[in-house]
């Protein structure tokens, strides 16, 4: 799969996330995205998801503050 391909995410009948490129919804030719939630969580935790975005410092700071609110002292 070309990493620069635009498309859409869908849930298949097995409740797994798949990627369909372009504007077509053809789940038979889609790309399975195993463990998508863990991958997204890792990108958020490491700060890679929004890096390069103009508002990255504010997003990263807000994420850090949210973690501090949920920690036990």
What is the pLDDT at residue 53? 67
How many domains would you assign to the chain?
2
> Which range of residues forms the domain containing residue 3?
1-34
Same domain, 3 and 24: yes
Same domain, 51 and 28: no
Same domain, 3 and 14: yes
Same domain, 4 and 14: yes
What is the pLDDT at residue 1? 47
For residues 26 and 11, is the Cβ–Cβ distance under 8 A?
Answer: no
What is the pLDDT at residue 27? 81
Same domain, 20 and 46: no
Residue with tokens 């409740």: 15
pTM for this prediction = 0.53
* Tens-level pLDDT at each residue, the chain (73 residues): 445 578 888 888 888 899 888 888 888 888 899 988 888 888 777 766 666 666 667 766 776 666 656 655 5
What is the pLDDT at residue 38? 87
For residues 21 and 8, is the Cβ–Cβ distance under 8 A?
Answer: no
């Amino acid at each position: 799969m070309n990493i620069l391909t635009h498309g859409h995410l869908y849930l298949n009948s097995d409740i797994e996330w798949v990627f369909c490129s372009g504007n077509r919804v053809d789940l038979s030719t889609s790309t399975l995205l195993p463990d998508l939630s863990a991958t997204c969580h890792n990108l958020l935790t490491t700060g890679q998801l929004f890096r390069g975005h103009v508002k990255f410092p504010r997003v990263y700071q807000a994420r850090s503050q949210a973690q501090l609110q949920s920690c036990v002292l």
